[in-house]
Amino acid sequence: MSTSTLNRRSGEFRCSVCGVEISRMAARMDHTCRGWKCRQQYHAQLQLRIRQSRVRESVRLQEFQAKLSQYREQHALEEGIDEAESFVPICVPGIVRLVIPVNEERKLQLRENLKRLIEDALELDTCQSEHRSIDRDATNSCEMSLPVLTGQACGICGGYCCTDGGDHGHLTADVMRTYIDANPAVEPEDLIDKYLSYVGSKTYEDSCIFHGAGGCTLPRSMRSDVCNTHQCNGLKDMSEGVQQGQTRFFVAVSHDEQISRHCFLSDDPKRC
């Protein structure tokens, strides 16, 4: 399907169907002239393109699911696991990055970020942060509400969701205020130093400063709400399965639809 075209020499825009000259606004909004037949044909082509895209995506998904099931059967046989079909296949993303030393510039940036957050936190009333403290305790995170299965599945990924953490770790003034309320004797500089003490000597390249080779280096009580509550699509599927009574899962880590590692999880001791 074509869209409105631009003649680069003359600067003219033309209808994607009949080729008649149209305005820049019409080219941006409709891609066609005002003729109803052109508009009807363009939207029919657009709907066809959407349907074709959905079909391709559905076929791609079915092929990957078949590949995932085949991978599960193969490794269940190799590892001596019976009833492979009883393990619900779940796919989580995988991180493919190097672990590199943390430079001092990143630590300085983190210090400045924390300083600003703590200054903002001290301007908040305790009552303003009470609601988030309650929500934090009741969060449906993998380690709190589904500790055995989803906690293990989350760990096998390696921290794909940590890559947006930068030098801020998604921390907020609310997180600082909650910690200060729980530890009223803490001084701002001491709190900054405490966070900095959890920065490891190495972290994943282009990822959160607290993202070490073994996972998040922060204790859960000092992490952001984003980090405590986020679930990727795979973990959401797994959580729904657990709530429906499923107790066995085959978790595969995939990057660009290539499976790099896996784990058979159940309510028995895990087999990875």
pLDDT at 140 over 60: no
Is residue 147 pLDDT above 80, yes or no?
no
pLDDT cut 70: percent of the chain above it: 85
Does the pLDDT at position 21 exceed 60? Answer: yes
Out of 112-116, 143-147, 215-219, 238-242, which region has the weakest mean confidence (pLDDT)?
Answer: 143-147
Least confident of 83-92, 149-158, 206-215: 149-158
pLDDT over 50 (residue 138): no
| pLDDT of 207 over the 90 cut | yes
pLDDT tens digits, one per residue of 154-201? 778 888 889 999 999 999 999 999 999 999 999 999 999 999 999 999
pLDDT reading at 106 higher than 80: yes
Which residues touch 21 (CB under 8 Å, ≥6 apart)? 12, 13, 14, 15
Predicted pLDDT of residue 136 = 45
Choose the weakest-confidence range: 48-62, 66-80, 159-173, 241-255.
48-62
Q: Which of 67-81, 103-117, 153-167, 222-236 has the highest mean pLDDT?
A: 103-117
Is pLDDT above 90 for 97? no
Note the pLDDT of residue 2: 54
- Asked if residue 225 has pLDDT above 80, the reply is yes
Check whether 208 has a pLDDT greater than 70. yes
